[in-house]
C-alpha cells in the first residue's frame, strides 16, 4: 500500500482539507455513522483498514500488507475517491469541486511517476472507485489498474469492465436483521413485495415511475416514493423485515444499494435491471436467493405480482435460509473477519491476478505488442 498523506483518505473523515502523515493502525479513525450515499460508497475505507490490521495468532488472512514492494502481489492506492467526490465535488461549490479535481490529478501524476506503476503499466494496482462519479476526470489515465466499483453504468468499457475490475457491494444502509428467528418467517412477513425510494432517476432508473404506476395500490404491496432520511431508513428497515420480497430496480446506474439492504434484511430480492453485475458472482449463485426480471418483463401489467405469487412457501423458505447463510459476505467491518465483504473483495482481486501476470510477463518480452490483433 502506498503511503499517502491523510488529505487523500482518512483526513476527509476529520474535515475538508485536513492533512497529516500517512495513516497507521494507531491513527486510523473509527468509521463515522453515515446514512445515504456516504455510507453506501465506503469500500475504500474498509480496504485500507484491512491492510493496517494485524491479526494475532496463526489464522489465515485474505490479505497482508508487506513493506517490501518487490514481494507484493498487488499495490493498493489508498485514495478515497468516492468520499472526495461527496466531500468536494458534490457540494455545488466550484472551488471545492476543483479541489477534488486537483486530488485526482495529483494521484494520477504520482502513480505514473512510480517505478512500480511503470513496471506493470499499473495492471497490478488496485484503486477503489465505488461512486459512479469517483475519479471521473482521470480514470482513463489509470485505466489499466484493477478498479473496485459498484457497477459499469457510467464509464466506457475501455476504461472499466468485468474482465479486469472487481464489483463491490454497497455498504448497506439498514441494520442487519439479527433477530430473524421466527418459527414461521413466511407467514410473519405479511407484505408480498416492498419498495421505498426515489422514483425520479436517470437511465434504467426511469423504470421506477412505470413500476410505481403498476404496483402502487395493489393488494399486499407497499410502494413508497421517498428519499433517504433517518426516518426513511427506519421505515425501510421495518418494511423490508415484514416483506417476503423486496423490489430492487436500477437506480441512476444498473445497481442499487437496495439490493444489499434486502439481503441483510433476509427479504428475497426482486432485481429489475438488464445490465447489473453482482459482487463475487464466481463464488455466489444469486439465483438461489433472488428473482430476476428484465426491464421489459417488469413493465408488463401484473407480470411481477403473478410470478411472485407462484413462488411456493417451500421455495421461499429455501431462499430465505440461503440469504441468512450468506449475509456475512456483505458486511463491512473492522476488525475484518474471514468471509466478510472486504475479505471476499480481496479474494476477487486475487482471482484477477493470473490475467494480470500474463499481460505483464508478455509485455516484458514482446517486441511487437499484441501482434495477434
Whether the per-residue pLDDT at 89 is higher than 90: the answer is no
Residue with C-alpha cell 465535488? Answer: 89
| Measured CA distances, 324 to 170, 264, 282, 318, 338 (Å) | 18, 8, 19, 10, 16
pLDDT in the model for residue 41: 93
Which phi and psi (to 5°) does residue 76 adopt? -90, 135
pLDDT in the model for residue 159: 94
pLDDT tens per residue, range 20-59 = 999 999 999 998 876 666 789 999 999 999 999 986 554 6
Q: How far apart are CA 150 and CA 167, in angstroms?
A: 5
* Sequence-ordered list of residues with C-beta below 8 angstroms from that of 369, at least 6 positions apart, any chain: 363
Q: How far apart are CA 280 and CA 178, in angstroms?
A: 23
pLDDT in the model for residue 37: 64
pLDDT in the model for residue 330: 98
Whether the per-residue pLDDT at 197 is higher than 80: the answer is yes
Sheet strands side by side (includes 268-272):
221-225, 191-197, 243-249, 268-272, 291-293
pLDDT in the model for residue 228: 59
Residue with C-alpha cell 441494520? Answer: 175
Q: How far apart are CA 138 and CA 310, in angstroms?
A: 48
Give the confidence band of 205 by pLDDT, cuts at 50, 70, 90. confident
pLDDT tens per residue, range 112-171 = 999 999 999 999 999 999 999 999 999 999 999 999 999 998 899 999 999 999 999 999
Contact 277, 151 (CB under 8 A): yes
Least confident window among 18-27, 113-122, 194-203, 315-324 = 194-203
Sheet strands side by side (includes 75-76):
75-76, 125-128, 146-149, 166-167
Amino acid at each position: 500500500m502506498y503511503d499517502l498523506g491523510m488529505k487523500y483518505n482518512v483526513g476527509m473523515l476529520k474535515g475538508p482539507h485536513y492533512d497529516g502523515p500517512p495513516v497507521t493502525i494507531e491513527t486510523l479513525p473509527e468509521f463515522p455513522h453515515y446514512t445515504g450515499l456516504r455510507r453506501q460508497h465506503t469500500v475504500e475505507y474498509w480496504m485500507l483498514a484491512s491492510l493496517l490490521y494485524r491479526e494475532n495468532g496463526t489464522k489465515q488472512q485474505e490479505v497482508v500488507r508487506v513493506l517490501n514492494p518487490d514481494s507484493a502481489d498487488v499495490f493498493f492506492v489508498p485514495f478515497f475517491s468516492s468520499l472526495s467526490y461527496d466531500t468536494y465535488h458534490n457540494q455545488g461549490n466550484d472551488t471545492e469541486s476543483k479541489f477534488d479535481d486537483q486530488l485526482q490529478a495529483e494521484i494520477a501524476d504520482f502513480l505514473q511517476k512510480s517505478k512500480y506503476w511503470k513496471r506493470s503499466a499499473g495492471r497490478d494496482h488496485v484503486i477503489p472507485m465505488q461512486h459512479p462519479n469517483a475519479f471521473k476526470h482521470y480514470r482513463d489515465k489509470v485505466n489499466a489498474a484493477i478498479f473496485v466499483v459498484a457497477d459499469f453504468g457510467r464509464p466506457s468499457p475501455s476504461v472499466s469492465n468485468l474482465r479486469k475490475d472487481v464489483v463491490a457491494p454497497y455498504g448497506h444502509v439498514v441494520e442487519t436483521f439479527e433477530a430473524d428467528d421466527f418459527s414461521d418467517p413466511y407467514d410473519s412477513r405479511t407484505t408480498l413485495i416492498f419498495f421505498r425510494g426515489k422514483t425520479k432517476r436517470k437511465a434504467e432508473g426511469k423504470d421506477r415511475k412505470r413500476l410505481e404506476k403498476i404496483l402502487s395500490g395493489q393488494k399486499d404491496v407497499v410502494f413508497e416514493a421517498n428519499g433517504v432520511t433517518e426516518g426513511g431508513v427506519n421505515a425501510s428497515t421495518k418494511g423490508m423485515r415484514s416483506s417476503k420480497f423486496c423490489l430492487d430496480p436500477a437506480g441512476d446506474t444498473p445497481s442499487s444499494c437496495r439490493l444489499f439492504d434486502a439481503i441483510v434484511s433476509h427479504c428475497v430480492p426482486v432485481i429489475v435491471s438488464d445490465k447489473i453485475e453482482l459482487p463475487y458472482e464466481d463464488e455466489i449463485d444469486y439465483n438461489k436467493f433472488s428473482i430476476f426480471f428484465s426491464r421489459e418483463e417488469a413493465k408488463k401489467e401484473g407480470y411481477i405480482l403473478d410470478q411472485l405469487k407462484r413462488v411456493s412457501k417451500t421455495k421461499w423458505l429455501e431462499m430465505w435460509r440461503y440469504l441468512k447463510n450468506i449475509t456475512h459476505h456483505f458486511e463491512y467491518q473492522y476488525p475484518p473477519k474471514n468471509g466478510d465483504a472486504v475479505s471476499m473483495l480481496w479474494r476477487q482481486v486475487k482471482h484477477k491476478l493470473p490475467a494480470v501476470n500474463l499481460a505483464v510477463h508478455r509485455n516484458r518480452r514482446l517486441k511487437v505488442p499484441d501482434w495477434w490483433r
